[in-house]
Chain A
Amino acid sequence: MRPENYQAVNHPPSNEYELNFGPNHPGIEGNYAFKVKLEGDIVVAARADAGYLHRGFEKLMEGRLWMQNLAIVPRICVPDPVPMEVCYSMGVEAIGGLEVPARAQWLRVLQLELSRIAAHLFFFGGHAATVGLYTTMFWGIADRDLILDLFEEMTGGRVYHIYNIPGGVRRDLPPGFLKRLNALLDYLESRLSDYDDLFFTNRVLVHRARGVGAMDQKQALEWGVTGPNLRACGLPFDVRRDEPYLVYDQLDFEIPTYAAGDDLSRTLVRRAELEQSVRILRQVAERLPSVEGPIRAPVPNPLAWNLPEGESYTRIESSKGELAYYILSTGGAKPYRVHVRGPSQMHAVQVLEKLAIGARLEDVAQIVFSLDSCPPEVDR
């Protein structure tokens, strides 16, 4: 919102006032605005204001070839771009009837779980910063950087990988990669005790986060909450279990849940998920050398590739929740419609507005971060 367009709300003289967690604020994850109306320091009304990251991707995708869209897709969610690429590729493969070779599926799981860990580390940093534990924020980003180094080796890019294409992946692993991956997993597991010491068992966090932003199961289901936020309410729903895709049905992992549905539970669920992701990655690293074969199903020359008519709705578990792509093809070289359903479209808008009511001003930022909202997903 440009300053000249801002209309101040005219309150009757009272002890109510409005504050703007503006688009540029450390208490807001990404570029997003959140207006709260306060009485004293208790929030009585809240309103989300998105649009600062609107790039018009859904419209742009209609004007580009199927293969060209891969350069756009990771940019829809910045901290966790891999599920976007994989979901789009899976959607196109479903319409085109392409079969992804086994090795490519394992490589995709490898990326997805690494990206999940990176996103969760980013998340810990965010949540910690809102309760004043800034060291954890630096740790989280530093450890995530090591994961980005691995991504750089594997895909050629640190954040926007553009590595998955319909049919498979673009490159195979460089030599020695699995060794470095295992070394990193060892390192991350050893770091968890540091994080526990500083953050997860910290009295400050527990007191600040317990009971804040609480929702019960009925509310969570009603509001369309998915992903770790739902699992923090005690419901063990995960797309990887409900609708297994890629090779998740061959992997051994648990779905952690916590019952309270408050900020603390959400953080602890993600901490448990990080351990599970490490467990999955170790299995993948063990299996990968024995999975031979091509990494890509043959796809026609991208300049001359018409997909048959059809539609697909692909769901995938991103680090934030249920990510879905609706792709519609009318038999041409370009999509007719691509609709991106990001999990933050629920969490960062309605759920946040509802949970903020009754919270204290200093907890608003905490609620925003613990819901792991991702404004690029909301705006597209």
Chain B
Amino acid sequence: MSDVAYKSKGSVLNPLKAFSFMGRKAVTLPLDEPRDGAEYYRGFHVNDWEKCIGCRSCQKICDNQAITMVKIPSLPDDPVKGVRNERPAIDYGRCCWCGLCVDVCPTGSLALSREYIHTCRGDELDSYFILPDPNGMHDKHYGFGWAKSPDSDLVDLNRRPMPEMAPQKRLQSFDEMVHGYSGQEALLEASRCVQCGLCLESCPTHMDAPNYIRSIWEGNLEQAVRDIYQSNPFSSICGRVCTHRCETACSIGRRGTPVAIRWLKRFALDHVDHETVKRIAAEGKGGYLSGHKVAIIGAGPAGLTTAFDLAKKGHEVVVYEAMEKPGGMTRYGIPEYRLPYARLDEDVDVITSLGVKIRYNTRIGKDVTLQQLEQDYDAVLIAIGMQLGRSTRVPGSDNPHVRKAIDLLRMITRGETFPVPRRAAVIGGGNVAMDTARSVARLQMKKYGKVDITVTALEDFDHFLADPVEVEEAREEGIEVLDARGPVECVIREDGTLECLRTVKVISIFDEQGRFAPKYDDSDEQIHPADMVIEAIGQMADLSFLGEALTERLEWNRGRLKVDENGRTSEPWLWATGDVVHGPDVVHAVADGHRTANSIDTCLCGMEKVTQ
């Protein structure tokens, strides 16, 4: 348009048009009651303290550094469950209400409400620093505005899938069932971590998972291995079979699947070549020898971790192992489909490469006496674990067809044959029961072409002792798992063969004082036909090698050796650590090993000679 139409002349009546506006709705709003914010309004913060776990992710994502974490002693602080007694406090002088803190909050506790009005005088600026609670900034809740929603959620709740063998294929062999992450998958899984550090606090040996996950994400696997070896020389093993307390505490696991911390640990160890791992593990080893000698009885995780630490500090360590190979329960108790022996050997090889000597097939009390060790060494550590299986002692349990799970697992590892039962019943609901059942299932599949195993446990499924994943995998392999059943009798036929296991329903296991006193409902009886009954109800240690005199001298605590928190017994030269004192799994054994090594080292460096 080159020229614009315009009115060159006005009319006197034009201003009357203004009257037409009197009927229109006013645009301005009265000031008496503030208008409601919209549905997704980004107003002041509210925080649900019950859901908030103090993971600090909001503090990390805030681009204006507006969030301070405040410790509130009256709130629960439970590292095992993954809860800190810290809550975020926000400086409204810096906050821009972008809502990224809400989107990245793993639990969904933080939200922005529809409240938006706050006034104060110049001397009341303290009111700008608020501690968001469920009630709103001025103790009035104006409704949720921008809250956690699937659209805007910035946390990845789903774990990268882990490739595994299908159940039918698994039963054909003892090959490792879990395949492990590829490089790309590990990177994607590692990027889910928000670095909250709750896993570090809940791990018994305080592995620095945030750091090694970050190293994996950065592609720096050697640094990851370095971070891992700071706290756990058994990481190929823990990376496969640990009870993953870290994952239980993981903040992502609150609403989604926890970060696969265990598999990432395995990934780092799998993908760095063995010689490099040995070199990294040896970093920090002094080039001198202290002149002290330490004897360790038992080449299990507790014993070897102590050996690793002591060797790095320059002490000469000799490990006496009764079996022909190292590893203890990790080899002779954990089946190969969960933990291949080659990986175990690698972990042990790293430790022996530091100069630790292991004498196999040497039983203390038979080949060497404890008194000899007491004389030849400056300190002795008992880390023999628990090799004897307990018995239920129900009628019929002394029959040769009633076996202990721990014995069977040892035989399977050593390749010793035993008559594979066509049908079997397992008493017990812990991980050992699952391991045994699944191992026998594989043997059954090989010999008979079909699986027939029933596992009966005292506990009900809500309180089951075994890892839920183990139970699920056992079921996939065709094993029947029954809860709340107590064993009553192993019925023996006249010719001495086993006919079946009789169980009754369990009403309760512990009495009011918490002592073990199971109550049964005898009317609810079940028969489990079986050629073999396997008892997997716990283990105990055989400390007969101590000898009468020493047993008298030592202090005991309800049948177990009494030790201080670092494993030292009442005898100044004798320590005991690992399963033999309290257990209950590999990672606790590693943690114990570190504490004991520290204690032994402090002692040895403090005195010239400890023995007489």
A and B touch in the complex (CB under 8 A): yes
Partner of B100, one of A71, A142, A153, A259: A71
Partner of A302, one of B10, B154, B188: B154
Flag whether B394 is at the interface (Cβ < 8 A).
no
Q: How far is the CB of A70 from chain B (nearest CB, A)?
A: 7
- Residues B186-238 near A (CB distance < 8 A): 188, 190-195, 214, 217
Q: Which residues of the partner chain A approach B1 to less than 8 Å between Cβ atoms? A: 258, 268
With the chains together, A164 CA to B532 CA distance in Å? 66
1/0 per position for B1-24, CB-CB distance to A under 8 A? 110111110100000010000000
Are A302 and B61 in touch, CB under 8 angstroms?
yes
Segment at the B interface, from A9-17, A195-203, A277-285, A358-366: A195-203
Q: How far is the CB of A379 from chain B (nearest CB, A)?
A: 18
With the chains together, A296 CA to B103 CA distance in Å? 14
Q: Which residues of the partner chain B approach A203 to less than 8 Å between Cβ atoms? A: 6-8, 10
With the chains together, A296 CA to B153 CA distance in Å? 10
Are A171 and B40 in touch, CB under 8 angstroms?
yes
Are B193 and A171 in touch, CB under 8 angstroms?
no
Flag whether A155 is at the interface (Cβ < 8 A).
yes
Flag whether B64 is at the interface (Cβ < 8 A).
yes
Are A162 and B194 in touch, CB under 8 angstroms?
no
Segment at the B interface, from A18-26, A60-68, A311-319, A336-344: A60-68
Q: Which residues of the partner chain B approach A174 to less than 8 Å between Cβ atoms? A: 38-40
Q: How far is the CB of A2 from chain B (nearest CB, A)?
A: 23
Q: How far is the CB of A286 from chain B (nearest CB, A)?
A: 23
Are A201 and B7 in touch, CB under 8 angstroms?
yes
Flag whether A160 is at the interface (Cβ < 8 A).
yes
Flag whether A305 is at the interface (Cβ < 8 A).
yes
Q: Which residues of the partner chain B approach A7 to less than 8 Å between Cβ atoms? A: none
Flag whether B57 is at the interface (Cβ < 8 A).
yes
Are B60 and A157 in touch, CB under 8 angstroms?
no
With the chains together, A208 CA to B469 CA distance in Å? 81
Flag whether A300 is at the interface (Cβ < 8 A).
yes
Partner of A303, one of B7, B17, B60: B60
Are A156 and B40 in touch, CB under 8 angstroms?
yes
Q: Which of B40, B42, B195 has the most CB of A within 10 A?
A: B40
Q: Which chain B residue shows the least CB distance to A305?
A: B191
- Residues A125-169 near B (CB distance < 8 A): 142, 145-146, 149, 152-157, 160, 162
Flag whether B275 is at the interface (Cβ < 8 A).
no
Chain A contact-residue range equals 35 or more
Are A303 and B57 in touch, CB under 8 angstroms?
yes
Flag whether B467 is at the interface (Cβ < 8 A).
no
- Residues A247-303 near B (CB distance < 8 A): 258-260, 264, 268, 295-296, 298-303
1/0 per position for A66-83, CB-CB distance to B under 8 A? 011111100000000000
Q: Which residues of the partner chain A approach B60 to less than 8 Å between Cβ atoms? A: 303
With the chains together, A258 CA to B154 CA distance in Å? 47
Segment at the A interface, from B84-92, B144-152, B279-287: B144-152
Do A301 and B192 form a contact, CB below 8 Å, given A71-B98, A157-B97, A203-B7? yes
Partner of B4, one of A64, A268, A300: A268
Q: How far is the CB of B236 from chain A (nearest CB, A)?
A: 25
Flag whether B578 is at the interface (Cβ < 8 A).
no
With the chains together, A309 CA to B190 CA distance in Å? 20
Q: Which chain A residue shows the least CB distance to B152?
A: A170
Q: Which chain A residue shows the least CB distance to B14?
A: A197
Flag whether B27 is at the interface (Cβ < 8 A).
yes
Are A156 and B154 in touch, CB under 8 angstroms?
no
Flag whether A41 is at the interface (Cβ < 8 A).
no
Q: How far is the CB of B460 from chain A (nearest CB, A)?
A: 38
Q: How far is the CB of A331 from chain B (nearest CB, A)?
A: 11
Are A171 and B6 in touch, CB under 8 angstroms?
no
Flag whether A304 is at the interface (Cβ < 8 A).
yes
Do A68 and B63 form a contact, CB below 8 Å, given A156-B41, A300-B191, A301-B192? yes
Are B2 and A259 in touch, CB under 8 angstroms?
yes
Q: How far is the CB of B254 from chain A (nearest CB, A)?
A: 15
Q: Which of B38, B96, B195 has the most CB of A within 10 A?
A: B38
Are B96 and A71 in touch, CB under 8 angstroms?
yes
Are B38 and A302 in touch, CB under 8 angstroms?
no
- Supply 21 A–B pairs (Cβ within 8 Å), ascending by A: A67-B100, A69-B63, A71-B63, A145-B27, A153-B39, A155-B40, A156-B42, A157-B97, A160-B96, A170-B103, A172-B151, A174-B38, A201-B6, A203-B6, A203-B7, A268-B1, A300-B188, A302-B61, A304-B191, A304-B193, A304-B194
Q: Knowing that A162-B42, A303-B194 touch, tell me 16 more A-B residue pairs with CB under 8 angstroms.
A: A68-B100, A70-B100, A71-B63, A71-B96, A149-B38, A152-B37, A153-B38, A156-B40, A156-B42, A157-B97, A160-B96, A301-B193, A303-B104, A303-B195, A304-B193, A304-B214
| 7 A-B pairs with least C-beta separation | A68-B63, A71-B98, A142-B27, A156-B42, A304-B191, A156-B40, A170-B152
